[in-house]
Structure 1
Amino acid sequence: MENNNTSAAPGGLIDVHIHALPPAYVAAVEAAGGDPSGFPSPTWSPEAAVNSLDLSGASLGILSVSAPGVSIAGTGQEGRDLARALNTQLASYATSDEYSSRLAFFGVLPDWQDVDGTLDEIDFLFSRQKLCKGVTIFTSYGSHLPSNLLFKPIWEKLNHHRALIFLHPTTLDITPRFISGGFPQPVIDYPIATTRAAVDIILGGIMRDYADIDIILSHAGGALPYLANRVECLLLNPALAGMVGVSREDVRAGFGKFYFDTALSTSAAQLGSLLSFTSSERVLFGSDFPYAGREAIAAVLGQYRRFVEGDGRGGEIGPEVLRGNAVGLLGRHGHR
């Protein structure tokens, strides 16, 4: 049975960046020694997710599994089994009598270094289960960024299914690993990971070559709105332009195709930069629950409301606009 709950409740935001921690995922992270990003794993339940939606004024939340994702279980059969278990659990939330009007989900994929396993799970999600609103992918897999040629069959498969893609950052393998001896990577390094992956996707020709996918970037695209022009301008250098197979026109067009969520990214500096970079039609609401707790969500919602009410451009991304953007994007990918 397909779940078409995009418009389950009249009005209200649609939260495209709200996470789930099903029991199988919690167990896998604990078995691996904890979240390698250094961020403490929060407690979670579908009831808590719905309560967070109420706090945000959201009628629908599209659940996703955050980093490190299925990669925590490796690239073999254990990872494949975990992906299937999580997709089955997420589907049960989205189709239950209790939550189906409030919760949907982005499908979970194996570590992309397991290409065959990833291709099979994409087919399961879109051809057999037929319940997800799209899929979550990560900013890197092992030492590979998303445009690595190893992953070409995956992009082809996602394009075949006209997939909506939610790109979420994951841990960077850098030294020193943490700021100030232990400050978790999600605070600063995750937005940088998103920036690197987004540029890699553009320079790798993904947005040019696979026209039937759409990609949502987490956290307002990280530093992309600030740095994208630097990328474009430096391609005027023939030596740099010769390193990639895309033109400046491809780069400019590619940057314009991304969608951006507002998770933990609602200051005037962040929203102003985002609106200077992209169309307001490409901005979506995100909360980052439960990694952002109630106090943090209340704070960023307050910033967002002050921007909407007090900035000259605020009306461009009012709640009704963000909802309409999400409904339109989901509709483009067959969910109404």
Structure 2
Amino acid sequence: MLCDVHHHFLPEEYVEAWKASGTIPPGLQPPKWTLEADLAFTQRHSIATTILSLSAPGLTPFPPHLQVPFARKVNTLAASIAASHPHRYGFFATLPLSPGGSVPLSTTISELSHALDNLSADGVTLFTSYDSHYLGHDFFRPLWEELDARSAVVFIHPSSPPSPPPAAVGVPPPIIDFPHETTRAAVSLITSNVIRDFPNVKIILSHGGGTLPFVANRIANLGADAGVLPPGKTADEFLAEAKRFYFDLALTAFPGAMELVVGFAGRERVLYGSDYPFCREGTVGRQRENLRGVEFGGEEVMKTLFPGLMGRKEGG
């Protein structure tokens, strides 16, 4: 049974508002998405279960007065898809979030509670940074406390860096920068002791954890040598916390990269992700072929992460 934990949906109203905001990166256009096309895609690629999420930039391009109602609209739509296809779909809730003060954190937590308690969300999506604050910043600590109390699943998706570099290398910045942003967010969660202090939260890093599996030993050892890790945190402890994340294989299931991720994290911490519809079908198909014979997290891991979703499947 294949569960796709990195799979996006793009409601038409959301796409139109995103276009109107003028924040779509040059060279990138959101693909058209429909539920019918999505179902056909999952059937072609033998994906039994899909967890829908909103991709970057989430709600950040929208003015404050639109973020909260848009979050509710997106979450209600995702919940309706999951309810009408209970054996095929789950979803990660979208949260309005702004350390800059435009959205009170109490409002964020209220939407979190509504999504988990009333809409049966399977977790929440957080982006790597908001208003130049990475997820380990003290602003987010009450949110992590709530997520920990609920033993929630958090899907971390990269967003554009606080100061995006120019597209000087000939490709849109997100194609290169997103993996680095995931790494920065992960390191901020380790060095701020969020990972240590909130052990009940189960965090999925996108795209094989960005560059974390490749640079974790470098950061751990140089950080310890330079005395820049938190007081008392050793290189070994840094690495142990880095391996507590889950890692999806979206745009990572290629020779060399996927072996690195599985070797670093262990197969029980590695999950399948397609990154549909941003990742085109030919690239998805090549990665599916590459994964033949590769062992990674299976049904038991899915039951641990998504008991509600897996219970619905078994009940059907």
Fold similarity call, TM over 0.5 = yes
Amino acid at match of 2:109: L
- 1:106 match: 92
Tell whether the 8 Å contact from 2:59 to 2:67 is kept in structure 1 after alignment: yes
TM alignment of 1:221-300, pairs within 5 A: 221-241=209-229, 244-245=230-231, 247-248=233-234, 249-300=236-287
Secondary structure, aligned partner of 1:268: coil
Tell whether the 8 Å contact from 2:76 to 2:119 is kept in structure 1 after alignment: no
Give the C-alpha shift of residue 222 in structure 1.
1.0
Q: Matched residues in 2 for 1:238 and 1:334: separation?
A: 45
Give the C-alpha shift of residue 38 in structure 1.
4.7
- 1:84 match: 72
Secondary structure, aligned partner of 1:63: strand
- 1:135 match: 124
- The answer to whether the aligner puts 1:68 opposite 2:57 as a matched pair is yes
> Structure 2: any 5+ residue segments left out of the alignment?
312-316
Paired-residue identity, %: 35
Number of aligned residue pairs: 306
- 2:82 match: 94
- 2:30 match: 41
Q: Matched residues in 1 for 2:266 and 2:306: separation?
A: 17
Give the C-alpha shift of residue 335 in structure 1.
5.5
Q: Deviations over 1:173-214 (max 9, x none)?
A: 335332435x22332211111111111111111110011110
Q: Matched residues in 2 for 1:49 and 1:233: separation?
A: 44
Give the C-alpha shift of residue 102 in structure 1.
1.2
- 2:314 match: none
Secondary structure, aligned partner of 1:247: coil
Q: Deviations over 1:242-294 (max 9, x none)?
A: xx346024422211210011111111211111122111100111000000121
- 1:122 match: 112
Tell whether the 8 Å contact from 1:204 to 1:246 is kept in structure 2 after alignment: no
Q: Matched residues in 2 for 1:126 and 1:173: separation?
A: 29
Q: Matched residues in 2 for 1:233 and 1:174: separation?
A: 27
Give the C-alpha shift of residue 166 in structure 1.
0.4
Secondary structure, aligned partner of 1:220: helix
Give the C-alpha shift of residue 157 in structure 1.
1.4
1:246–1:334 Cα change, 3 Å: farther
- 1:9 match: none
Amino acid at match of 1:287: S
Tell whether the 8 Å contact from 1:18 to 1:288 is kept in structure 2 after alignment: yes
1:156–1:37 Cα change, 3 Å: farther
Give the C-alpha shift of residue 47 in structure 1.
1.4
Give the C-alpha shift of residue 163 in structure 1.
0.9
Secondary structure, aligned partner of 1:69: coil
> Cα RMSD between the aligned structures?
1.9
- The answer to whether the aligner puts 1:22 opposite 2:11 as a matched pair is yes
Tell whether the 8 Å contact from 2:206 to 2:249 is kept in structure 1 after alignment: yes
1:254–1:42 Cα change, 3 Å: same
TM-score (norm 1): 0.86
- 1:171 match: 160
- 1:193 match: 181
Amino acid at match of 2:161: L
Tell whether the 8 Å contact from 1:22 to 1:86 is kept in structure 2 after alignment: yes
Tell whether the 8 Å contact from 2:116 to 2:122 is kept in structure 1 after alignment: no
- 2:301 match: 325
Amino acid at match of 1:327: K
1:175–1:102 Cα change, 3 Å: closer
Give the C-alpha shift of residue 152 in structure 1.
1.1
TM-score (norm 2): 0.91
